[in-house]
Structure 1
């Protein structure tokens, strides 16, 4: 029911079976964050028009459209798979037909996550276990280099976080856990279903 409601509201298509697999063992199969989970996240975590949220492994762009529609923030999706990138671009066309007055744009880039150049305006980074720990470390290092060059407050948002991601952030970076948003009530008390928000000020 939530899928139908939001897909109609946003005028996009991000549902359906995800059949495209990545050639690299370092990149995981795409799965969009459920709309129920996004509702829970954004009841407690707010964005502004001045924020830019980067979704690594964005697939067809669900998070980007949701955050842009409800918060008018800059939304950037990074997707290595050409098929999903094309789907996301097609969704932009559909979204823009219905929503023409949102202040900030949605952008999708077809590239490897570790090759994405972190911009000084990028300050929110979303990960739903899109790739291996090795790639995650490279991406986090890119973010840290960017912060050194352009000091700012940056948040890392982890959904269904892996132990490897958590261990690296907490033991090898200056990011600290801001808060945890559990959603295990949606998933039969599976405690991995949660959001962890880390911040570096």
Structure 2
């Protein structure tokens, strides 16, 4: 219920584009994948030609830390997110976008390391919501098998 047809999802570090395509297919949202590695970006472009993408998925070859969030983007996904210094730069760009175009923004973090999680949980602009439990996806138990969800406070 966090992501629906009316939303635009930014998939930071999108790799081959699988999350972007899956989310567009499942929810009908528009999805933009940002990928730094040129080989992965090229594979994402090929995968984006799949009927599952439904012309609702696009990819950008670039550095997530330099990417300016489009005004319509209101959902951001991070799988096994970057190092803390990069997360801080990406969040700065998100906050800048929010300043210029106030709106609700939700952030989703999957497979987060402890340092990044502590930073997110103590950030004054982020309000932690109930995490999404993913432990049923694998037989082995792993405390990281959850998606952390945050709402971004306007100011």
Fold agreement, TM-score > 0.5: yes
- Tell me the SS of whatever aligns to 2:31: strand
Equivalence for 1:48: 4
Give the aligned partner of residue 119 of structure 1: 70
Equivalent of 1:77 in 26, 29, 33: 33
Cα deviation 1:95-151 (Å, max 9, x = unaligned): 1xx358x4x621100101011111111111111124211001100111011111111
Name the CA distance, whole Å, in 1 between partners of 2:149 and 2:52. 29
Which of 4, 8, 13 is equivalent to 1:57? 13
> Are residues 197 and 187 of structure 1, via their aligned partners in 2, closer, same or farther at CA, if it must alter by over 3 Å?
farther
Give the one of 118, 138, 144 matched to 1:192: 144
- Counterpart secondary structure, 2:109: strand
Measured in 2, the distance between the counterparts of 1:130 and 1:196 equals: 12
Find the counterpart in structure 2 of residue 131 from structure 1.
82
Q: How far apart, in 2, do the equivalents of 1:89 and 1:122 lie?
A: 20
Distance 1:182 1:99, change over 3 A: closer
SS of the counterpart of 1:120?
Answer: coil
Query: C-alpha displacement at 1:184, in angstroms?
Result: 2.5
The two structures have a TM-score, normalised by structure 1, of 0.70
Q: Secondary structure at the match of 2:65?
A: helix
What is the CA deviation profile of residues 52-76 of structure 1, one whole-angstrom value per residue up to 9, with x for unaligned ones?
Answer: 1111110000111111111111100
> Gaps (5+ residues) in structure 1?
1-44
**1:137·1:168 contact (CA, 8 Å) conserved in 2?**
no
Select between 162-171 and 118-127 the one with higher mean Cα deviation: 162-171
2:106 counterpart of 1:161: no
Q: Which one has a larger percent helix, Structure 1 or Structure 2?
A: 1
Deviation at 1:187, TM superposition (A): 4.6
Name the SS for the 1:126 alignment partner.
strand
Bigger proportion of residues as strand: 2
Distance 1:105 1:192 in 2: 30
User: 1:68 aligned to 2:24?
Assistant: yes
Which residue does 2:130 correspond to in 1? Answer: 179
Q: Which runs of 5+ in 2 are unaligned?
A: none
